[in-house]
Amino acid sequence: MDRLAAALAGGTSGPRLLVKRDDCTGLALGGNKARKLELLCAEALTEGCDVLVTGGGPQSNHVRMTAAAANRLGLDCEIALAPKTDGTPYSEDESGNLLLDHLLGARLHMLERGAYYDIEAGIDALAARLAADGRSPFAIPVGGASVTGVTAYVAAADELASQLGAERVDWVVVADGSGGTHAGLFAGLGHDVRILGVDVGTRPDLDEVVPQLAAAACERTNRPPRRGRALVDHERFGRGYGAITESAIEAIHMTARLEGLVLDPVYTGKAMAGLIAAVRDGRIGRDESVVFWHTGGAPALFAGRYASRLFSGS
């Protein structure tokens, strides 16, 4: 992304910016969850499960892609869905990922509260009800952030290393929702690359859970444990998960108009805002190399409350 790098450096030489296109993984418009679901769904099939159970917010890429994976494998899909932040009911004109959830046929169960731990409890309760009804549910945590899901990103770290070859990378920047992608990259690359996760407001304990999940993934994959704290930028999510911010709007416009690369206002736009801030304040040096890990999420651009803000901010 040389044009973006030059713009951030004021027209002079800036950091080398690369992008890892996990938005192009396929499976219902793509995203990073395809890697996790490959392993999670294999576990579900091995255990003889007949329904996938997970949860998230109305613009959750994980929910959308889990529904698609269930369809691909002939399984049912039941979702514990967080309520709207303003307390109003969902309606027929809802769009973005929520429209795709309906298109894919997932059965949505609206929760009374939408905090991270409320959603996790909702997933467990929904799986328990299905089991009591004689079904064989496979519960997947928010974002697929189980040890199995995290190991998918240990393998993704190996994939990145093979693509880079001898090229040096100093930083990887990624959206930090449930922490699983960050943890897998930390486990796979964290010995010599700084992994910066940009908090999008999903869960409050990223600083603790990312190293814990990384340690478990290292043990699962027989790798040496990674030492040190997680690098998490907690300054980009605004009023909370799904709340659009001015810095995300700027990042979305800059990246689209300089690189033809589409980001979203819930996840990758905020992650890019974190990268931009780190370059501007000198945390990322002009002689360093950065991989921006594009985790997907473009469907959220078409949700009405985001589209109007992005258009008016043009």
Catalytic residues: 60
Burial class of residue 93 in the structure, from the number of CB atoms within 10 Å of its CB (0-12 exposed, 13-18 middle, 19+ buried): exposed
Give CA torsion, residues 91, 93, 94, 98, to 10 deg: 100
What is the number of residues in the chain?
A: 314
Q: Where are the alpha helices (DSSP H) in the chain?
A: 2-8, 33-46, 61-73, 97-103, 116-132, 147-164, 180-189, 206-220, 246-259, 268-280, 304-312
Q: Is there a contact between 155 and 68 (Cβ–Cβ < 8 Å)? A: no
Burial class of residue 26 in the structure, from the number of CB atoms within 10 Å of its CB (0-12 exposed, 13-18 middle, 19+ buried): exposed
Q: Which helix (H) or strand (E) holds 262?
A: none
The Cα 302–Cα 176 span in angstroms is 22
